[in-house]
């Protein structure tokens, strides 16, 4: 959840939750889909919460791997830290992990995963005005299935990465 301080007179969206400390918590699209049950697949070995967590991990890798988070090494230091712990926290580590995760998702699934996890936008089918037609319902089901299958590939990728590192 992203937290933001509510300003006086600010118009809040319906998805916002206001706590007693005047802090507004915005739910991401991925969290809303999780609450609505769109991330559930009937015959899957992974749960909806696993899909939500892996979508958040992908977003974290993407945002921490942006070039604006690059930090240069201070060469005036006597000992330059080069241990695995300091390398793991660098922007390059997150960028490489994001690129590898992106390659693990097939091309057909990637647009739905990118739109929901990284851009924090609803799927295209959810923005259509006429939701009662059979064509739009089938398109909605298809895009949500692509999102779920893409998130499953990401789960398998991150599980492999954790096994290699340990």
Contact 41, 148 (CB under 8 A): yes
Residue 16 structure tokens: 């916002």
Q: How far is CA 35 from CA 68, 74, 132, 142, in A?
A: 33, 46, 22, 19
pLDDT tens-digit readout, 87-106: 556 778 888 999 999 999 99
In-domain check, residue 12: no
In-domain check, residue 17: no
Grouping H, G, I as helix, E, B as strand and the rest as coil, residue 132 is coil
In-domain check, residue 19: no
Q: Report DSSP letters for 23-36, one per residue.
A: EEEEPPHHHHHHHH
In-domain check, residue 145: yes
Global pTM value: 0.74
Grouping H, G, I as helix, E, B as strand and the rest as coil, residue 4 is strand
The residue ranking higher by pLDDT, 13 or 145, is 145
Q: How far is CA 19 from CA 1, 2, 23, in A?
A: 13, 13, 6
Q: Which domain holds residue 122?
A: 29-165
pLDDT at 139 over 60: yes
- The number of helices, as runs of H, and strands, as runs of E, in the chain is 6, 3
Identify the weakest region by mean pLDDT among 3-7, 108-112, 131-135. Answer: 3-7
Place of tokens 């096994």: 163
In-domain check, residue 2: no
What are the two backbone dihedrals, phi and then psi, of residue 160, each rounded to the nearest 5 degrees? Answer: -65, -40
Query: What's the pLDDT score for residue 46?
Result: 93
Identify the weakest region by mean pLDDT among 60-74, 78-92, 131-145. Answer: 78-92
Number of domains in the chain: 1
């Amino acid at each position: 959840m992203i937290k933001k301080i509510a300003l006086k007179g600010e118009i809040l969206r319906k998805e916002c939750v206001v706590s007693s400390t005047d802090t507004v918590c915005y739910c991401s699209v991925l969290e809303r889909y999780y609450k609505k049950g769109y991330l559930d697949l009937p015959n899957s070995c992974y749960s909806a919460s696993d899909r939500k967590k892996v979508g958040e991990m992908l977003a974290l890798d993407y945002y921490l791997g942006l070039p604006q988070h690059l930090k240069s090494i201070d060469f005036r230091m006597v000992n330059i830290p080069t241990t695995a712990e300091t390398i793991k926290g660098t922007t390059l580590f997150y960028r490489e992990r994001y690129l590898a995760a992106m390659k693990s998702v097939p091309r057909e699934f990637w647009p739905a995963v990118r739109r929901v996890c990284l851009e924090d936008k609803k799927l295209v089918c959810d923005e259509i005005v006429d939701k009662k037609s059979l064509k739009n319902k089938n398109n909605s089901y298809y895009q949500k299935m692509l999102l779920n299958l893409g998130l499953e590939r990401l789960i398998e990728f991150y599980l492999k990465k954790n096994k290699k590192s340990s």
